[in-house]
Amino acid sequence: RATGPRAAAAALVLWAGLGVGLLPGAGAQVNCGAHIARSCDYCPDGQGQVWCNGQCSWVKSPLGGACVAKEIAPSGEGGWLGAPWLLSGCVMLGFAWLYKAKVVDELPLLPKGRPIGEAPAERGLFSCLTSLDTCLYTTFCLPVVAAKNYRSAEVCGFWPACILMFIGTYSPFYCFTAALRTTLSMRVSDRLGYPSWCLQDFLISLFCFPCEVGRESL
């Protein structure tokens, strides 16, 4: 039985070992199946799913996939990272149904053209920043607000526009959505009698989509 200085030294070594094991990131390594890496992020090393095993699991996503620890991976073999996307879609769908019933269905349709001699309203791209409600709606419920605008201008039904805007905006197909959005935006401008330019509208839809939707809502 060790006593005195030996016992103190043994206790110090034991506590040091426990500290290395318990401190996050302190010498941490994971078993990737056939090799060791600093963390599951480093397991694939450019090889993809085939190098993600052991303590890690490969989860799929619309953009390819990622290697994560099994403790945080979705349940089931080959889990999918699209679950949060689907959940947000369901929440958005519920809000869209309520918003349509309480707001959209009560709004009048936009008039066709402008009265002779009436100049178009001067609204800059960032004019939506003057309205807190519009900013919040376009930030957190962009597809719903865009669908409301298209329905009011009679260029597209509310539900088709809402679904297309959600799928296209929050997926790798954003560029296709920008092209579709350009077409719809030009039709809204024509409905109101305002001039429109295809290239300009496309660039705005590509880089300033929320601001443009907010400006249309004013």
What residues are paired with 66 via a beta bridge?
Answer: 59
pLDDT score for 52: 92
User: What pLDDT does 24 receive?
Assistant: 43
Q: What is the pLDDT of residue 63?
A: 61
Q: What is the pTM of this model?
A: 0.60
**Residue predicted with more confidence, 30 or 120:** 30
Q: Are 70 and 94 in contact (CB under 8 A)?
A: no
| pLDDT per position as a tens digit, 23-63 | 444 456 899 988 999 999 899 988 888 999 999 988 876 66
Say what the pLDDT of residue 62 is: 61
The whole-number average pLDDT for the span 92-103 is: 91
- pLDDT tens digits for 174-200? 888 888 888 988 888 777 667 778 888
Alpha carbon distance, N-terminus to C-terminus of the chain: 83
Q: What is the pLDDT of residue 140?
A: 87
Q: What is the 3-state secondary structure (H, E, C) of the chain?
A: CCCCHHHHHHHHHHHHHHHHHHCCCCCCCEECCCCEECCHHHCCCCCHHHHCCCCEEEEEECCEEEEEECCCCCCCCCCECCHHHHHHHHHHHHHHHHHHHHCHHHCCCCCCCCCCCCCCCCCCCCHHHHCHHHHHHHHHCHHHHHHHHHHHCCCCCHHHHHHHHHHHHCCCCHHHHHHHHHHHHHHHHHHHCCCCCHHHHHHHHHHCHHHHHHHHHC
pLDDT tens for each residue of 63-79: 677 888 887 766 554 45
pLDDT value at residue 159: 94
Residue 26 has a pLDDT of: 45
pLDDT of residue 66: 84
pLDDT of res. 80: 52
Pick from 37-51, 63-77, 82-96, 100-114 the range whose average pLDDT is largest.
Answer: 37-51
Q: Which backbone phi and psi does 50 adopt, to 5 degrees? A: -65, -20
Q: Report how far residue 191's alpha carbon sits from residue 210's, in angstroms, rounded to the nearest whole number.
A: 21
Looking up tokens 């030294």 gives 9
Instruction: Give every CB contact of residue 70 below 8 A, 6+ residues apart in sequence.
Output: 55, 56, 57
Burial 64-92 (b: 16+ CB within 10 A, else e): ebbbbeeeebbeeeebebeeeeeeebeeb
Q: Which amino acid is at 146?
A: A
* Alpha-carbon Rg for the chain in angstroms: 27
Q: CB of 81 within 8 A of CB of 57? A: no
Q: What is the pLDDT of residues 122-174, one digit of tens each?
A: 566 777 777 788 888 888 888 999 999 899 888 899 999 999 999 888 877 88
Q: What's the mean pLDDT when you consider all of the chain?
A: 77
